[in-house]
Structure 1
Amino acid sequence: AGISFLLVFMMLIARKVNYIRIMDKELKVLEGGDLEYEVTELGSDELYQLAHGINEMRKAVLRREEEERRNAQANQELVTALSHDIRTPMTSLIGYLEILKMGRYHSEEQKEEFLEISRQKAFQMKEMTDKLFEYSLVTGKMEETYHMERMEVDTILSAILDGQVSDLINEGWEVEENLSGYASESSVMADVEFFQRVLDNLLSNIRKYADKSGKVIVRAKEGEGGFTFSIRNRVLHEEALGGSTGVGLKTCQKIMEAMNGSFQVEKTKNIYCVSVTLPIIRPQGAGRQQPGQNRI
């Protein structure tokens, strides 16, 4: 009986020693940096608890590394998007400064108007560069906060027509405004600053890729999906968009989705159309206007 007990005891000891050797080899794998390697878990004793604890620590480190990787990627994407968007008002600002320098304005009133637009573009650039500085040096974490507020559709259209569309016309583009019927009382929820960035991106793409001999058609309408603003233009050639990185369009899509809206791109041969849609907030019993006349 004593010999049998001794043999069983020696077998158990040998099994534990063998398990310790296995763990020793596997820990060396982890030391080499392969955190995906899973330590063998056997039995239910202290060695099992040790192996299980090591695996839990390994998984926690992997989760933390993945989170850091996602944060770094999000930070990089945001820096890229903001840097891209800064170029749009900068290009517009340079254009207006060139007009002022060359004296290509018709009156002192127009000169003051161009100066005010230049001032607004400069402040817009300052806001975005301030964000870059704040995100990268102060908070250390790149996050964009949306401040949603109620905006009347009439106000949005007036801002678009007096701002971006007016800029295109001043630059010599032929713009057709096609404003379908919509309820004058209708409103949408949006972040003004971010919506401005979307519009700036759309107009920037027109300047880069549109055929200036063709019309730029601006449409605004209200439907079941909400209030939709679209820009349709003819591109220079089928490969005109080949040089685009797509950063601006991805930024627009992300912004519109964050505001519970949508962003859609349609391409047919040499025609390019981009539409942005926001949900309508319409008072109960509000009527609809008759469709407006096209303005050219």
Structure 2
Amino acid sequence: MKNKLLSLISGKRSIRVRMFWSFSLSLIIAMNVSSILNESLLNRLLAARHFPYLSILLYGVLSFISFIVLFILSFSLMTRRIVQYLLSLGEGLDCIAGGNLRHRVPLIRKDELGKVAENINTMAEKLERQIAKERQIEKSKMDLITGVSHDLRTPLTNIIGYLELLKNRVYRNKQEQERFVDITYNKAMQLKNLIDDLFEYTRLTTSDAKLVMGQFDVRELLTQIVAEFQPFAKELGVTVETYLAFKSMPIPMDPGKIRRAIDNLLMNALKFSVKPGVVRVSLEARSLFVAIKIENEGTPISKEQEELLFERFYKADHSRTAHAIQAGSGLGLSIAKNIVERHNGTLSLVHSSGHYAFIIELPISNPAQNY
């Protein structure tokens, strides 16, 4: 308390107090020094005994001038650091305004000017982050355009090629014609799925998607999804094992959106699981949330690939798509993550030597954001 009082009185934490002391001390110095000088001058003028009235007038003028000069000099010396710091702040602002957002003004004062300097640095940091974010958004837009162009061009080119063959009747028999038609149809469906994924991702990343919330049993939903995937899994030579709680687990969610997220994760596990293999689906109730875990064994990926796995259009390894499964849009995991986060939940991956565990955590009672 004593140190704070001394700091306040000395003006270290208040420029107004510092200016008051500088003004007062400059006034005292100017009055005392000019008084001494002027007294000596007056004695000399009176000793001369020439034009006494003119001497007194001259004394008054010189006294005033000496007081003003001494006051200005002493006040300038006492406020020199403040002026230098103000110039430093001005130079810093010019530097930041010139585009150098990494520049920071020195924080060497604890008064109002120090707060101004702190605000300038905070402003520069925010501007730097904002511009970096805008650049990242611009890059994401270009990546989106590039990804869409690449993923849509391949099936579209195939469709056009097979339609030209059919149009020109370049096939040997009825069986080959039917095969061309089947291939064209499959490519058209792949194109449709890509467009649907893109449309869903775009809606989820804008304010267009609204969650239709309600209390739904996540255990029942998970049971239905797994049952629907069983024939497809059997065709691939993959066994789907479930470890679900015996009791129902109603939680606030949009069942359609959560179904889409689980579908994407389960399809991803079936695609990239070793064949023959096992995909495990488990449900666990915890204190504040429920945890859905989807596990499979697959080809190991690097740490860098693991960090990019939820990025849109990212595909860890195209060669891992087997059994005539489409490579996909690369949006499935991004869509799933976005859906879960809109429910105020989290989607994470635990990977170790080819063992993958995708974990969805959904809150039991917290309402999701409806936007």
TM-score where L is the length of structure 1: 0.56
Contact 2:221–2:259 at 8 Å: present in 1 too? no
Where structure 2 has 5 or more consecutive residues not aligned to the other structure, the ranges are 1-31, 37-66, 97-101, 163-177, 312-333, 366-371
Query: Is 1:121–2:197 an aligned residue pair?
Result: no
**Higher Rg of the two aligned structures:** 2
CA distance in 2, matches of 1:116, 1:181: 41
Confirm or deny that 1:259 pairs with 2:343. Answer: yes
Contact 1:85 1:201 (8 Å CA) reproduced: no
Question: Cα distance, 1:276 vs. partner?
Answer: 2.1
Identify the residue that residue 155 of structure 1 maps to in structure 2: 221
User: Aligned pair 1:65/2:131, yes or no?
Assistant: no
Secondary structure, counterpart of 1:240 in structure 2: coil
SS of equivalent residue, structure 1 residue 32: helix
The answer to whether the aligner puts 1:207 opposite 2:271 as a matched pair is yes
- Residues 230 and 276, structure 1, Cα contact 8 Å, conserved in 2: yes
More helix per residue: 2
| 1:232 has 2:283 as partner | no
The aligned runs of 1:133-172 (5 Å cut-off) are 147=211, 149-150=213-214, 151-153=216-218, 154-162=220-228, 167-170=232-235, 172=236
2:20 — aligned with what?
none
Name the amino acid aligned to 2:264: D
Q: Which residue in 2 is equivalent to 1:276?
A: 360
Q: Report Cα offsets for 1:6-65 as digits up to 9, x if no partner.
A: 64552113333564345334522432236520476598xxxxx7x468537624633641
5+ long unaligned stretches in structure 1: 44-48, 106-111, 136-141, 282-296
Instruction: Report matched runs for 1:1-296 at 5 Å.
Output: 1=32, 2-3=34-35, 7=70, 9-16=72-79, 19-33=82-96, 35-38=103-106, 51=113, 55=117, 58-59=120-121, 61-62=123-124, 64-65=126-127, 68-69=130-131, 71-72=133-134, 75=137, 121=193, 124-128=196-200, 130-131=202-203, 147=211, 149-150=213-214, 151-153=216-218, 154-162=220-228, 167-170=232-235, 172-184=236-248, 186-191=249-254, 192-193=256-257, 196-197=260-261, 199-201=263-265, 203-204=267-268, 207-208=271-272, 210-213=273-276, 215-224=277-286, 227-236=290-299, 239-241=300-302, 244-249=305-310, 251=334, 256-280=340-364
Tell me, in whole angstroms, the C-alpha distance in 2 between the residues paired with 1:124 and 1:198: 17
User: How many Å separate the matches in 2 of 1:17 and 1:54?
Assistant: 18
User: What amino acid sits opposite 1:235 in the alignment?
Assistant: G
CA contact (8 A) 2:340 2:346 kept: yes
Q: Deviations over 1:137-185 (max 9, x none)?
A: xxxxx6796625233332343245426x655555x2412232534335x
Amino acid in the other structure paired with 2:356:
Y
Tell me which amino acid in the other structure corresponds to 1:176.
V
The root-mean-square deviation of aligned C-alpha atoms, in Å, is 5.1
CA distance in 1, matches of 2:244, 2:285: 10
Contact preservation (8 Å) 2:253, 2:343: yes
Question: How many angstroms apart in 1 are the aligned matches of 2:244 and 2:350?
Answer: 20
Residues 101 and 14 (structure 1 numbering): CA distance in 2 closer, same or farther, change over 3 Å?
farther
AA in 2 matched with 1:244:
Q
2: CA distance, partners of 1:212 / 1:152: 32
Distance 1:255 1:85, change over 3 A: farther
Q: Which amino acid is the alignment partner of residue 281 of structure 2?
A: R
Q: Which of the pair has the greater relative contact order for Cα pairs under 8 Å at 6+ separation?
A: 1
The alpha carbon displacement at 1:68 in A equals 1.8
| Kept in 2: contact 1:86–1:128 (CA 8 A) | no
Distance in 2 of aligned mates of 1:187 and 1:42: 56
**Structure-2 separation of matches of 1:264 and 1:256:** 10
The 1-side partners of 2:201 and 2:354 are apart by: 35
**In 2, are the aligned partners of 1:182 and 1:222 still within 8 Å (CA)?**
no
| Cα distance between partner residues in 1 of 2:146 and 2:259 | 15
**How many residues are matched?**
247
